[in-house]
Every structure is written in structure tokens, then in C-alpha cells.
Amino acid sequence: MDIQPSIIIMPKILNSDKIKEEDQLIQGENYFLPTFIEQTIDTAATNSDSIVNDSITTDNLLQLADSIIDTQLQGALFYLISGHGGPDPGAVSEINGKQISEDEYAYDITLRIARKIETHSGKLFMIINDPDDGIREDELLDIDYDEYCLPQDEIPRNQTQRLVQRADAVNNLYEDNRDYKYQRVIVIHLDSRSTGANVDVFFYHFPGSKKGETTAKTLQSTFSAKYAEFQPNRGYHGTVSARNLLVIRKVLPPAVFIELGNIQNEQDRKRFIKPDNREALAKWIVEGLIEDFENE
């Protein structure tokens, strides 16, 4: 098969005169597929069904990725914190009578980020873990309360204790990994606002953290470029700002706090409910981290 790199042309634009309502195709019609660079095929994504993450602990063995595809993140260390967990589900909402919660989606996306970091030879620690939830391909993720914080600690109900616990977990690991020149803490959350509030993915860094700010801006820039490329008529308005949040204030490595959208808003929900969208979000975040690492 002859696949050549070329300018990406989105399929709906390419075939705009031959697509019916709800993206249905016409029998007997010919369609053009966009070309893409072969090495960008995300092979890990095609093998993601029911991968069980018993726990990602403190070693650097492949836990989620099937294989390493390159060394773009070799020498980089990430502390990944998925928001809430344990007794605290975070923001909750309801779809077709089923309750969904922020922590389950944040955890799934964080696992996908972890898998991609591994495929690029990066080292990572999942600070929050679930003993029996791996990457899930479901739209409506079941809620549970069994997440724990590294190394093996029950997550407290008290909010301040809960946040201090995960920051301490990062800092304890940092003490043993000071030889890594590039380290970042990535905190993944979903937002909860009124149902009509539509928000793009946005980023916080701790006030005065130059490295955190640079990483946040690089991630934002990556998202801006991705939206321009893959949804050229949509626009993207995600922001970068400083905010004095306990976890990103207390952790020793530079940190970025990412809000992926409003769980109460129907349009924003598509970003988390659809597994393919969760995969794309993780891909873009990791691509931004690769660029940040290369620029450091």
C-alpha cells in the first residue's frame, strides 16, 4: 500500500457533497479518505479493550503500552494525578438515568496518557490508582470508590487531607528521582458548571511557576493547532492562567492542572463520554508534553 505524507484534509470536507444527514454515506458512491503519515497510526489504541491495570507502582516496566514506538520522552518523568477518587467521585451528572462521575473519566483519560507516555519511552507514576479499572471503551463508566493513592494508601474523605496526601505522594517519589532533569506533574480534572456553559479544554499553572506556565502554554498551543487541523471551522478558546490550587502549589516539580470541560454540558460531555474522544485528548496532551520536553 502506497501511503504518502501530505496535507491532511478532513473527510467530511473532502466529501461534503456526498454525505447525508448524520454522516451517512450513499451506496455506490466513491469517497476520498484523507492521507496521513503512516507512523502516526496509534497501534496501541487499537488494542485497548479491557486492559486491566492492576496497579502502576514505582518501577518503570511497561504497564499499559504493548510496546515502545520511539524514545521521544526518554529521560522525562511524569507524575499523573487523576482528580478526586476513593470516597470522592468529584462532579456528578446523569445521562439516561445513569449517574456518571468526574473521577472515573479523569482516571480513564489519565490511564490513556500514561499508556502513551510509555510508548514514547517516558517514565511515569500514576499517583491515583484503581485496582480493577483499566482503560475502558464504554461510554458510561461505572462509578466505584476503591481508588487509592500511592504507595497503597486509602484516600481520606477530608478534602484538604486528600489533596495533601497526593501532593506528598509526588514529593516522596521526587526525592528518589531527582536525577531526572525534566519532571512534570499533570493533574487531570473535569469541570462542573451550569448545563449551558460550554468550555474548551483549559490549563492552570501555579502563580510564579515559569516552567509550569511554559508547559501549560505549550499544551494550549498544541490543542489550538489540533482543533485548527481536525475541526477547522470550530475555533478553540481554551485558556492558560495562574491559580493558587493546593496540589500544584505543594508539589515540588512544575505542575499543570488541566480542566477538560464541563461534565454538565451536553456538548462538552462528548469529549469524555466517547472513548475515541478520550483517546484523542490523551494523544494531544502527550504530543504537547513531547514538544515541551524537546524545548526544555
Partner 1 sequence: MINNPTFTQELDSLKSIVAGKGDGIYKILRDNGYPAEYYYNA
Smallest distance, Å, CB 230 to partner 1? 5
Site string for partner 1, 226-265 (x = CB under 8 A): x---xx-----------------------------x----
CA distances from 12 to 23, 228, 231, 233, 274 (A): 8, 15, 10, 12, 19
Smallest distance, Å, CB 24 to partner 1? 5
> Given the complex with partner 1, which of 164 and 199 has the nearer CB atom?
199
Match 468526574 to its residue by C-alpha cell. 102
Smallest distance, Å, CB 48 to partner 1? 10
What would the DSSP string read from start to end of 35-55?
A: P--GGG--GGGGG-TTB----
Q: Return the residues of window 50-79 that contact partner 1 according to CB under 8 A.
A: none
Q: Return the residues of window 20-39 that contact partner 1 according to CB under 8 A.
A: 22-27, 30-36
Smallest distance, Å, CB 222 to partner 1? 11
Q: Which of 55, 121, 224, 277 binds partner 1 (CB under 8 A)?
A: 277
Smallest distance, Å, CB 23 to partner 1? 3
244 phi and psi, to 5 degrees?
A: -85, 80
Q: Is 153 in the site for partner 1 (CB under 8 A)?
A: no
What would the DSSP string read from start to end of 128-197?
A: EE-SS--B---SSPPP----EETTTEEPPSSHHHHHHHHHHHHHHHHHH-TT-SEEEEEEEEEE---TT-
Identify residue 287 by its one-letter amino acid code.
Answer: E
Q: Which of 283, 285, 292, 293 binds partner 1 (CB under 8 A)?
A: 283
Other CB atoms closer than 10 Å to residue 2's CB: what's the count?
Answer: 4
Helix residue ranges per DSSP H, 180-274: 210-230, 246-250, 266-273
Q: Is 16 in the site for partner 1 (CB under 8 A)?
A: no
Smallest distance, Å, CB 156 to partner 1? 33
Q: Is 270 in the site for partner 1 (CB under 8 A)?
A: yes
Smallest distance, Å, CB 55 to partner 1? 26
- HSE of 140 in the Cβ direction (CA atoms, 13 Å)? 9
3-class DSSP state for residue 260?
strand
Alpha-carbon distance 200 to 279, whole Å? 16
Q: Which of 67, 161, 267, 294 binds partner 1 (CB under 8 A)?
A: 267
Cβ-contact 183, 254 below 8 angstroms: yes
Judged by the rule CB under 8 A, the positions of this chain that interact with partner 1 are 1-4, 6, 10-12, 15, 19, 22-27, 30-36, 40-43, 45-46, 226, 230-231, 261, 267-268, 270-271, 274, 276-277, 279-280, 283-284
